Amino acid sequence: MTTVRAATRELLRSRGATTVFGNPGSTELPFLQDFPEDFRYVLGLQEAVVVGMADGHAQATGRTALVNLHSAPGVGNAMGAIVTAAANRTPMVVTAGQQVRAMMTLEAPLTSVDATLLPRPAVKWAYEPPRPQDVPAALARAFHIAESAPRGPVFLSLPMDDFDVELDAAEARAARHAAARRVGGAAQADRAEVEALARKLMTAVDPVLVTGGAVDAEGAWDAVVALAERRGLPVWASSAEGRVGFPETHPLYQGVLPPAIGPLAQTLAGHDLVLVAGAPVFRYHPCVPGPLLPEGTELTLLTSDPGEAARAPVGDALVAGLRPTLELLCELVDKRVDDEAAHRAGDAPVEIPEADGEPMSASIALAAIAGAAPADTVWVHESPSTVQAFRDHVRVDRPGSFLTATGGGRGFGPAAAYRVPVTFVVPASREYAALRSFGRFANAPDVPGLDLCALARGYGVPAHRATDPAHLAELVGAATAGQDGPVLIEAPVTGVPPVL
């Protein structure tokens, strides 16, 4: 006989989901009982951290992350990070334990009341199986939903007495069927529509390309570079994206679009056609009124997310997988100019700068870090007030080498620290920049004086405080050379203007 527990594990193995990120309590223990050798449980002490780790893991590996939380309080604590995972379009299956079925109607302690309502609207699907035997099928379905475009978190509430239940032969066979299922990859936009778009691209006088993080997430980096080079398209990056969709060292690369209506339209002025690949149209944060597009400019959006296609306030859209569609589009576009500039080599290596004050500015700190970091660095950025300085000094030039959280929440980066070789560099201005704006008013809240190095050491993480750019570069260099665990470097900087 097979139990629900055994069938569930088979299913997780078949999905490659043997790493579980969690913070369990009593209601999750039955799921963990006899935890198999080939599984790994990555423990976080607060749920925001757990989901942050899972999010980073899913984005780095491209595989759906499995999360294990403790009834209602656990899901509650994780909700901010789940909202962020939804904004990041991260495939994630979030499970939470539930009281034993016999105690739920009584609302005994640890009953998650209305469990499937709790995680909405941040999840694509929320379900509590009506019988123990349905757990494997529900889990299989959860993975497939999480992985369909637009990818995102889903939720299952699992009563703790379900795992010991035995499956009969038909149920066991159905669970094996569920484990064996595969749902096919990204579709290509209808050929006629791509042909029409190719014609537009060829006849446009001055077309321009805008790329977003989905290009990286969907493995379309090479396709978009090929298209830009073939047609000689200048390329802008969409703002506030969680990933980078085009090499920032490429000669066709123009920079990041401003995130405000008027300035953005001004930036695109002169182009008669804007092709947007895998980015929202558009992400504005400050509300600066103005025209959405320059007069006479046409826009087409390629996206695999029907919601983004519907939400765009301007321009047409094609909903399809980015990689196959961009490959077809590239094939259909004639090579017009052999633009040598498009293949120019990247920038010269960055040098370590001199200090510009005491403490140094954030810009100098970022320059020092960029100069000292290894060529194969994967950047995780979570300091909104230094985003401009970061962009000035760090040029992302490989797929998958930059991640940030897009939903407005923080804490995604630090979560990535489970004995992995991460170097945390904290540009510490000793101000809470988001609060500075009202600091001049009476009764502004006191900003606590944190000793970041002490806190890091409290968690067992080696920590250092940089005194100047050269010291900072030296610390970065040392930390990243032969690193076998996390290191924190505090870089005292002057205050910087807040962004979000």
Active site residues: 25-26, 28, 47, 70, 285, 408
Q: Smallest distance from the beta carbon of 328 to its own copies, in angstroms? A: 9
User: Which residue, 70 or 89, is less far from its own copies as judged by CB?
Assistant: 70
Per-residue string for binding with its own copies, 62-91, x by CB under 8 A? --------xxxxxxxxxxxxxxx-------
Task: Please state the closest distance from residue 317 (CB atom) to its own copies, in A.
Answer: 5
- 390-409: contacts with its own copies (CB under 8 A): 406-409
Contact between 316 and its own copies by CB under 8 A: the answer reads yes
Can you tell me which of 152, 207, 245, 321 binds its own copies, judged by CB under 8 A?
Answer: 321
DSSP structure string for 470-492: HHHHHHHHHHHSS--S-EEEEEE
Judged by CB under 8 A, the stretch of 205-213, 217-225, 310-318, 353-361 that binds its own copies is 310-318
- Distance between CA 23 and CA 358 in Å, rounded? 42
Q: What are phi and psi of 388, to 5 degrees?
A: -70, -45
117-133 exposure pattern, b = at least 16 Cβ within 10 A, e = fewer: ebbeebbbbbbbbeebb
- Rounded Cα distance, 366 and 261, in Å: 29
Per the CB < 8 A criterion, the answer to whether 82 and 405 are in contact is no
Binding range to its own copies, per CB under 8 A, among 221-229, 289-297, 332-340, 372-380: 289-297
Q: Output 289 or 482, the one with its CB closest to its own copies.
A: 289
Q: Can you tell me the distance from the alpha carbon of 209 to that of 252, in angstroms, rounded to the nearest whole number?
A: 10
d(CA 151, CA 65) in angstroms, rounded, equals 12
- Cα 10 from Cα 498, distance rounded (Å): 48
Cβ neighbourhood burial of 323 (10 Å; 0-12, 13-18, 19+):
buried
Q: Which is nearer to its own copies, 28 or 248 (CB)?
A: 28
Q: Per-residue contact track with its own copies, 98 to 127, x per CB under 8 A?
A: -xxxxxxxxxxxx--xx-xxx-xxx----x
Cβ-contact 31, 68 below 8 angstroms: yes
Distance from the Cα of residue 490 to its chain's centroid: 24
**Strand segments (E) across 193-328:** 207-211, 235-237, 253-256, 273-277, 298-303, 316-319
Stretch that binds its own copies, among 135-143, 203-211, 221-229, 477-485 (CB under 8 A): 135-143
Q: Are 161 and 103 in contact (CB under 8 A)?
A: no
Tell me how crowded residue 105 is: count the other CB atoms within 10 A of its CB: 9
Binders of its own copies among residues 186 to 245 (CB under 8 A) are: 186-191, 193, 240
Q: Say how far residue 256 (Cα) sits from the centre of its chain.
A: 18
Of the residues 52, 245, 258, 315, which one makes contact with its own copies according to CB under 8 A: 315
Binding residues with its own copies: total (CB under 8 A): 149
Given 460, 481, 482, 484, the residue binding its own copies (CB under 8 A)? 460
Q: Which is nearer to its own copies, 82 or 369 (CB)?
A: 82
Angstrom distance (rounded) from CA 476 to CA 421 = 12
> Pairing relation of β-strands 298-303 and 463-465?
unpaired
- Find tokens 């600091």 and name the residue: 439
The yes or no reply on residue 294 touching its own copies (CB under 8 A) is: no
CB of residue 167 vs its own copies: minimum separation in angstroms?
12
Beta carbon nearer to its own copies, 41 or 343: 41
Decide whether 63 or 144 has the Cβ nearer to its own copies: 144
Could you say whether residue 329 binds its own copies (CB under 8 A)? no
Among 202, 269, 337, 455, binds its own copies (CB under 8 A): 455
- Among 219, 232, 259, 294, indicate the residue that binds its own copies (CB under 8 A): 259
Among 164, 337, 344, 437, binds its own copies (CB under 8 A): 437
| Choices 88-96, 198-206, 428-436, 480-488; region in contact with its own copies by CB under 8 A | 428-436
Contact flags string 268-287 toward its own copies, x per CB under 8 A? ---------------xxx-x
Per-residue interface string for the shown chain with its own copies, residues 39-58, x marking contact by CB under 8 A:
xxxxx-xxxx----------
CA pair distance 133, 179, nearest whole angstrom: 14
Nearer to its own copies, 383 or 406 (CB): 406
Query: Exposed e or buried b for every residue in 427-455, given b needs 16+ CB within 10 A?
Result: bbbebbbeebeeeeeeeeeeeeeeebbee
Considering only residues 341 to 380 of the shown chain, the ones binding its own copies according to CB under 8 A are none
